[in-house]
């Protein structure tokens, strides 16, 4: 059966190519961003939705019967909204909380969160193990760590299958990251 995946941040660096990759692999994709992002692909339906708009999130998840949600929408990067840290919290933390709650209520099975290595804070050089403690040193990184903790709460308390990918700095969706997202979205 065709799986339906909701992707936020549809117009972004990561969301846009991911939507193409999922649609090309036969997923039905519901693409969300602030404004409608056009995808000329028969497997993609695009809608405008503010991340913090609670009724909108519920309406879309209720009608879509989605199997998975990939949350790419965010204020992305520690350098963005430097002068408005509250806006980072509002968008990244409250936006994630809104989608987690809508996913719980409308029984979306899996929630894939785009976290960041900024959630770690400063680290030693070389590969970073997953167990490395999160000690962010900017508001953006803190918003990513906070969202990961929310995801863990929904996972353990409410049974939502959640996973967070701590993405390094990327100007494009490379093949490795691509494959991980596609694999993570496959709800069998
Ligand atoms: N690109 C990277 O280097 C990188 C690294 C680590 C983590 N990440 C994370 O990956 C995710 C995607 O990053 P990206 O590079 O594609 O970012 P991006 O800035 O290119 O895209 C983010 C998208 O989110 C949308 N958005 C922002 N605020 C919104 C709101 N209030 N309502 C609805 N939509 C909103 C934007 O319109 C945009 O299309 C983010 O969570 C980011 O923190 C990215």
Any ligand 1 atom below 6 A from CB of 161? no
Q: Distance from the CA of 69 to the center of ligand 1, in angstroms?
A: 15
With 60 as the cut, is the pLDDT of residue 188 above it? no
With 80 as the cut, is the pLDDT of residue 8 above it? yes
**Look-up of token digits 């709460």:** 153
Q: Which helix (H) or strand (E) holds 93?
A: none
Tell me the percentage of the chain whose pLDDT exceeds 70: 93
- For residue 103, give the CATH number of its domain: 3.40.50.720
Digit-coded pLDDT (tens) for 28-84: 999 999 999 999 999 999 999 999 999 999 999 999 999 999 999 999 988 888 899
Structural domain total, the chain: 1
How confident is the model over 159-179, as a mean pLDDT?
80
Burial of residue 27 (CB within 10 Å: 0-12, 13-18, 19+) is: buried
Which pLDDT value is given to residue 169? 76
Q: Nearest CA to 22 among 6, 1, 38, 40?
A: 6
What 162-166 contacts at long range (C-beta under 8 Å, 24+ apart), as own/partner pairs, is 162/110, 162/111, 162/112, 162/113, 163/110, 163/111, 163/112, 163/113, 164/112, 164/113, 164/114, 164/115, 165/112, 165/113, 165/114, 165/115, 166/115, 166/116, 166/117, 166/119, 166/120, 166/130
Which pLDDT value is given to residue 44? 98
Any ligand 1 atom below 6 A from CB of 74? yes
Q: Distance from the CA of 12 to the center of ligand 1, in angstroms?
A: 6
With 80 as the cut, is the pLDDT of residue 170 above it? no
Pocket test for ligand 1, best of 7, 17, 72, 141 (most atoms within 8 A of CB): 72
What is the pLDDT of the chain when averaged over all its residues?
93
Length of the chain: 188
Digit-coded pLDDT (tens) for 113-135: 999 999 999 998 888 999 999 99
Which residues span the domain enclosing 91?
4-185
Which pLDDT value is given to residue 174? 64
Our CA angle for 54, 150, 75, nearest 5°, is 65
Which pLDDT value is given to residue 171? 61
């Amino acid at each position: 059966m065709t799986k339906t995946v909701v992707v936020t941040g549809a117009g972004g660096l990561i969301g846009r190519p991911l939507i193409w990759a999922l649609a090309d692999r036969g997923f039905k994709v519901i693409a969300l961003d602030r404004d409608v992002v056009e995808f000329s692909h028969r497997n993609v339906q695009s809608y405008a939705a503010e991340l913090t708009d609670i009724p909108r999130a519920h309406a879309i998840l209720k009608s879509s019967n989605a199997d998975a949600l990939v949350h790419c929408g965010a204020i992305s990067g520690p350098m963005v909204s430097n002068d408005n840290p509250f806006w980072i919290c509002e968008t990244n933390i409250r936006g994630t909380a809104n989608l987690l709650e809508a996913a719980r209520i409308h029984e979306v099975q899996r929630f894939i969160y785009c976290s960041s290595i900024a959630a770690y804070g400063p680290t030693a050089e070389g590969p970073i193990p997953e167990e490395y403690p999160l000690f962010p040193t900017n508001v953006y990184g803190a918003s990513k760590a906070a969202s990961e903790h929310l995801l863990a709460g929904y996972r353990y308390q409410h049974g939502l299958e959640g996973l967070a990918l701590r993405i390094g700095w990327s100007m494009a969706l490379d093949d490795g990251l691509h494959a991980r997202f596609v694999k993570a979205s496959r709800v069998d």
